[in-house]
């Protein structure tokens, strides 16, 4: 089935954008082989654009991107959608403010996920970006919307755009796909830095009032 005509131009733009954003994942060391994916919501339609399954990053192109509905059913494209499509679709269906979703297995953040431990907010950068600890979501098996449910339940109770799904990896959200990619990059950087700090001793906590102040300023003033 073809993408409906009134969003065809938007889909074409998002295919190019999502394809280009995938290059940021290996650039920042967030993925290996074909693991990891970026998706974008199609505004004005219950559709998303996502990477196809099993295609290496250096073979991706705008034409290779696929379009599914918010049940993860293929609507347009010649390849099988990513195996994580159901999780992405569930997030878009239940968090209408989200315009982009990213999934990685970046080393340090995934190590925290393997321990089932949130990354504590002991850096001003973490307060800026995540508004507190980077939370852990529940263990869930791939294949249905279980992972998506865990993502939504966890992030609804947090200011963080990132969640560490236990024993699995990282999912991030954003108003745009680019914002979700930024969150994935920052999540790995914070996870790595806090891990190194803990090798030297116990990191110093930041008062909650200061975390709130940093987050509010960064989200509403900085760069605006």
- Reported as type and span, the H/E element at residue 13 is helix 8-22
Q: Residues 100, 180: contact at Cβ < 8 Å?
A: yes
Closest CA to 97 of 24, 35, 41: 41
- Reported as type and span, the H/E element at residue 20 is helix 8-22
52-79 pLDDT, tens per residue? 999 999 999 999 999 999 999 999 999 9
Cα 209 from Cα 199, distance rounded (Å): 27
Closest CA to 128 of 102, 157, 165, 162: 162
Cα 97 from Cα 91, distance rounded (Å): 10
- Average predicted confidence (pLDDT) for the chain: 96
* DSSP code for 32: -
> The pTM is what?
0.96
207-216 pLDDT, tens per residue? 999 999 999 9
Question: pLDDT grade, residue 223 (50/70/90)?
Answer: low
Helix (H, G, I), strand (E, B) or coil at 106: coil
* DSSP code for 44: T
Domain boundaries, the chain: 5-220
Q: Residue 131: is it exposed, middle or buried by C-beta count within 10 angstroms (0-12/13-18/19+)?
A: buried
pLDDT at position 224 is 60
Helix (H, G, I), strand (E, B) or coil at 24: helix
pLDDT at 203 > cutoff 50? yes
Cα 44 from Cα 47, distance rounded (Å): 9
% of the chain beyond a pLDDT of 70 = 98
Task: Give the N- to C-terminal CA distance of the chain in Å, as an integer.
Answer: 41
pLDDT at 3 > cutoff 70? no
pLDDT at position 5 is 76
- At a CB cut-off of 8 Å and minimum separation 6, what does 218 contact? 127, 128, 129
Per CATH, the architecture of 5-220 is what?
Answer: 3-Layer(aba) Sandwich (3.40)
Question: Mean pLDDT, to the nearest integer, of 149-164?
Answer: 98
Question: Mean pLDDT, to the nearest integer, of 193-220?
Answer: 98
Phi, then psi, of 50 in degrees rounded to 5: -150, 160
pLDDT at position 60 is 96
Helix (H, G, I), strand (E, B) or coil at 101: strand
Question: pLDDT grade, residue 133 (50/70/90)?
Answer: very high
84-107 pLDDT, tens per residue? 999 999 999 999 999 999 999 999
pLDDT at position 1 is 47
């Amino acid at each position: 089935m073809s993408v409906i005509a009134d969003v065809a131009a938007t889909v074409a733009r998002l295919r190019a954008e999502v394809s280009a954003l995938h290059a940021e994942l290996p650039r920042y060391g967030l993925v290996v082989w074909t693991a990891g994916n970026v998706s974008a919501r199609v505004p004005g339609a219950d559709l998303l654009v996502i990477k196809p399954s099993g295609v290496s990053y250096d073979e991706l192109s705008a034409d290779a991107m696929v379009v599914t509905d918010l049940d993860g059913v293929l609507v347009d494209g010649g390849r099988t959608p990513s195996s994580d499509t159901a999780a992405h679709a569930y997030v878009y269906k239940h968090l209408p403010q989200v315009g982009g979703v990213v999934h990685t297995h970046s080393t340090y953040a995934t190590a925290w996920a393997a321990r089932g431990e949130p990354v504590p907010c002991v850096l001003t950068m973490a307060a800026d970006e995540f508004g507190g600890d980077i939370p852990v979501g529940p263990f869930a098996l791939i294949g249905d919307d279980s992972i998506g449910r865990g993502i939504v339940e966890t992030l609804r109770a947090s200011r963080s755009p990132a969640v560490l799904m236990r024993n699995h990896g990282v999912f991030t959200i954003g108003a745009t796909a680019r914002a979700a990619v930024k969150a994935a990059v920052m999540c790995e950087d914070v996870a790595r830095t806090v891990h190194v700090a803990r090798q030297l001793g116990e990191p110093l906590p930041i008062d909650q009032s200061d975390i709130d102040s940093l987050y509010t300023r960064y989200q509403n003033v900085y760069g605006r």
